[in-house]
Amino acid sequence: MVQGWKWSRRRSYFPLISLIFMVLITATILFNEFRIHQYQNPDHNPHLQNTQKSPPVELDRFTTCSSTVEYSGGDMGWGGGVRHSPVPGGVKECDVFAGKWVFDNGSYPLYNESHCPYMSDQLACHKHGRLDLGYQYWRWQPNECNLKRWNVTEMWEKLRGKRLMFVGDSLNRGQWISLVCLLQSVIPADKRSMSPNAHLTVFRAEEYNATVEFLWAPLLVDSNSDDPVNHRLSDRIIRPDSLSRHLSKWENADILVFNTYLWWRQGPVKLLWSSEDNRVCEELDGVRAMELAMKTWAKWVDSNANPLEKRVFFVTMSPTHLWGQEWNPESEGNCYNESNPITQENYWGTGSDLPTMNMVEDILSRLGSKVTVLNITQLSEYRKDGHPSIYRKFWETLSPEQLSKPESYSDCIHWCLPGVPDVWNELLFHFL
Ligand SMILES: *[C@@H]1O[C@H](CO)[C@@H](O)[C@H](O)[C@H]1NC(C)=O
Ligand SMILES: *[C@@H]1O[C@H](CO)[C@@H](O)[C@H](O)[C@H]1NC(C)=O
Ligand SMILES: *[C@@H]1O[C@H](CO)[C@@H](O)[C@H](O)[C@H]1NC(C)=O
Ligand SMILES: *[C@@H]1O[C@H](CO)[C@@H](O)[C@H](O)[C@H]1NC(C)=O
Ligand SMILES: *[C@@H]1O[C@H](CO)[C@@H](O)[C@H](O)[C@H]1NC(C)=O
Ligand SMILES: *[C@@H]1O[C@H](CO)[C@@H](O)[C@H](O)[C@H]1NC(C)=O
């Protein structure tokens, strides 16, 4: 691993307490997205009366464990094929994921923030007061070749008669909004539509008979966090062996773009196997729980994906910039007030966990050409300037203490649009 040494070196001066703090910040920002609806009356739990019979019960946000025991070693029995090396999507003719950011205000941004009717208030940084717009002007330049130039007509031709679906968490939703913004400008307003925000949200373009959809499935497998609005919960409970709730929505899509990562970084995960009738959960650390979920997902990909008929993409972890010390030893801040990319080659922050990356790489490589990896981690690591920080809508009321210290509530996880996710979509276009 190229960055292996960096990780261990950096970790050594990165105290555990900071990591715990980081987990808390991450959790707060991820959960606060839709705070409006989070207050629910627990007495309304429809399952409390009848959990004893006919398992498995669908998990929802009211699901609880009756007790928690240690992980007993179960899994889906998916070993996958032999490791294919190199990972497809990586190094065919040229490794497009190795390169640098080049300032290019001639070709970028690829669209105007205020001209995209589907823009999210979480990502519209200019609208929310950001004045340094440099983050919109960077082009990704691979070292040994050029990326295919974004061409909206060509992209629509590739999508004609097809369903493209993003499946994952709020980072993946950001990439979906980016793609919709990139695509929508050439479709007349009366020939396009967007369904209301739900588990599955659908953008449709009539004349191409095509849809670009987003499915909320932050942990890929079924979990108690699958409600797109109410998912602020203290315990993370998953069904490590079941995709069914999401699968029924995604299985007919022609092109699938998956991601999952940050939701596994919030402490131990509870496992509730489908065969378990008495709500006895097992507990496992995030990385190993993610591995179980990835294998369940991979088992499905292995028997259903086909590069000619059903394309499957996997987007690697989206980096965070929560600790200024990582790129500037004198800094006590985070991404707030950062207006330029990091130029140090192979820079790697502590938020991008290498053991997780290795686990993911191992699983993906066993899927061979059935999956195309969009390895956005390294290139996004450089973009400490690309996050909304304080320039987004916050649903909670900010206290005077917070307001006097902008770093304390900065969002250094999601990405401003136009911005970094547009480039992830150029990579998707490149491989489609
Ligand atoms: C691009 O940036 C350069 C240098 O900052 C500036 O001189 C030029 O006017 C800019 N061009 C556009 C189209 O914004
Ligand atoms: C976006 O469009 C608005 C309104 O048409 C315009 O005022 C603004 O200059 C544009 N922004 C960019 C970055 O082109
Ligand atoms: C974009 O793609 C369309 C359809 O493939 C093609 O006709 C057109 O020339 C392309 N435009 C550019 C600028 O390459
Ligand atoms: C539109 O696309 C769907 C697949 O997404 C296909 O089943 C249907 O036949 C298409 N309709 C037309 C009119 O092409
Ligand atoms: C933001 O950065 C600029 C320099 O890039 C500096 O002059 C300014 O004091 C910083 N503001 C805050 C609030 O840290
Ligand atoms: C992504 O690229 C990094 C190098 O930047 C590499 O260490 C990692 O293994 C790759 N991940 C996958 C899933 O291919």
pLDDT tens column, 362-384: 999 999 999 999 999 999 999 99
Q: What is the pLDDT of residue 10?
A: 40
User: Which ligand has the nearest atom to the CA of 98?
Assistant: 6
Q: In this model, does residue 8 exceed pLDDT 60?
A: no
- Residue 44 known to be catalytic: no
pLDDT digits (tens, 9 = 90+) for 86-114: 444 444 578 999 999 999 999 999 999 99
For the residues 394-403, what does the mean pLDDT come to?
A: 90
Q: Does ligand 4 lie within 6 Å of residue 211's CB atom? A: no
Average pLDDT, the chain: 87
Percent of residues, the chain, with pLDDT higher than 90: 72
* Residues 137, 418: Cα–Cα separation, whole Å: 9
For the residues 254-282, what does the mean pLDDT come to?
A: 93
| Of the candidate ranges 1-5, 28-32, 387-391, the one whose mean pLDDT is the lowest | 1-5
Contact 421, 174 (CB under 8 A): yes
For the residues 217-242, what does the mean pLDDT come to?
A: 90
Q: What is the pLDDT of residue 233?
A: 81
Range of the domain at 119: 106-313+386-431
Could you tell me which residue, 51 or 27, shows the higher pLDDT?
A: 27
| Of the candidate ranges 35-44, 231-240, 290-299, 332-341, the one whose mean pLDDT is the lowest | 35-44
Give distance in angstroms: CA of 261 to centre of ligand 6: 14
Q: Does ligand 4 lie within 6 Å of residue 295's CB atom? A: no
- Residue 352 known to be catalytic: no
Q: What is the pLDDT of residue 229?
A: 84
User: Residue 391 — very low, low, confident or very high, per pLDDT cuts 50/70/90?
Assistant: very high
Q: Does ligand 2 lie within 6 Å of residue 185's CB atom? A: no
Give distance in angstroms: CA of 177 to centre of ligand 4: 23
Q: What is the pLDDT of residue 380?
A: 98
Q: In this model, does residue 316 exceed pLDDT 70?
A: yes
Domain tally, the chain: 1
Q: What is the pLDDT of residue 325?
A: 93
Q: In this model, does residue 274 exceed pLDDT 80?
A: yes
User: Residue 35 — very low, low, confident or very high, per pLDDT cuts 50/70/90?
Assistant: very low
Could you tell me which residue, 357 or 10, shows the higher pLDDT?
A: 357
- Mapping DSSP onto H, E and C, the string for 27-81 reads HHHHHHHHHHHCCCCHHHCCCCCCCCCCCCCCCCCCCCCCEEEECCCCCCCCCCC
Q: In this model, does residue 130 exceed pLDDT 90?
A: yes
Could you tell me which residue, 289 or 89, shows the higher pLDDT?
A: 289
User: Residue 342 — very low, low, confident or very high, per pLDDT cuts 50/70/90?
Assistant: very high
Ligand 6, residues 96, 378, 379: which to mutate, most atoms within 8 A of Cβ?
A: 378
pLDDT digits (tens, 9 = 90+) for 184-224: 999 999 999 999 989 999 999 999 999 999 999 999 999 99
Burial class of residue 54, CB neighbours in 10 A (0-12, 13-18, 19+): exposed
Give the helix/strand (H/E) hosting 167. strand 163-168
Q: Does ligand 4 lie within 6 Å of residue 209's CB atom? A: yes
Q: In this model, does residue 9 exceed pLDDT 50?
A: no
Ligand 3, residues 110, 146, 153: which to mutate, most atoms within 8 A of Cβ?
A: 153
- Closest by CA to 226, choosing from 383, 2, 60, is 60
> Ligand 2, atom 11: nearest CA belongs to which residue?
112
User: Residue 41 — very low, low, confident or very high, per pLDDT cuts 50/70/90?
Assistant: very low
Looking at ligand 3, which atom is closest to the CA of residue 149?
A: 14
Assigned domain for 119 exists: yes
- Closest by CA to 335, choosing from 286, 285, 282, 407, is 407
Q: Which residue reads 């499915």 in tokens?
A: 215
In this structure, the number of other CB atoms found within 10 A of the CB of residue 146 comes to 12
Q: In this model, does residue 172 exceed pLDDT 60?
A: yes
* Residues 234, 231: Cα–Cα separation, whole Å: 9
Name the catalytic one among 227, 241, 353, 411.
411
Residue 102 phi, psi dihedral angles, 5° rounding = -120, 130
Looking at ligand 3, which atom is closest to the CA of residue 152?
A: 1
Q: Does ligand 4 lie within 6 Å of residue 253's CB atom? A: no
Q: What is the pLDDT of residue 351?
A: 87
Q: Does ligand 3 lie within 6 Å of residue 107's CB atom? A: no
Q: What is the pLDDT of residue 197?
A: 86
Give distance in angstroms: CA of 127 to centre of ligand 1: 21
Q: Does ligand 3 lie within 6 Å of residue 154's CB atom? A: yes
Assigned domain for 7 exists: no
Q: What is the pLDDT of residue 47?
A: 37
Q: What is the pLDDT of residue 3?
A: 34
Contact 296, 221 (CB under 8 A): yes
Assigned domain for 112 exists: yes
| Of the candidate ranges 29-43, 184-198, 287-301, 340-354, the one whose mean pLDDT is the lowest | 29-43
Q: Does ligand 3 lie within 6 Å of residue 157's CB atom? A: yes
User: Residue 231 — very low, low, confident or very high, per pLDDT cuts 50/70/90?
Assistant: confident
- Look up the pTM and report it: 0.88
pLDDT digits (tens, 9 = 90+) for 261-273: 999 999 999 999 9
Assigned domain for 66 exists: no
Assigned domain for 76 exists: no
List, in order, residues 6 or more apart from 410 with CB less than 8 Å away: 334, 335, 336, 387, 388, 389, 390
Ligand 6, residues 316, 360, 363, 364: which to mutate, most atoms within 8 A of Cβ?
A: 316
Contact 362, 83 (CB under 8 A): yes
- Residue 60 known to be catalytic: no
Assigned domain for 78 exists: no
For the residues 26-49, what does the mean pLDDT come to?
A: 43
Assigned domain for 256 exists: yes
* Residues 289, 131: Cα–Cα separation, whole Å: 41
Give distance in angstroms: CA of 105 to centre of ligand 1: 6
For the residues 76-85, what does the mean pLDDT come to?
A: 71
> Ligand 6, atom 12: nearest CA belongs to which residue?
361
> Ligand 3, atom 13: nearest CA belongs to which residue?
151
Assigned domain for 94 exists: no
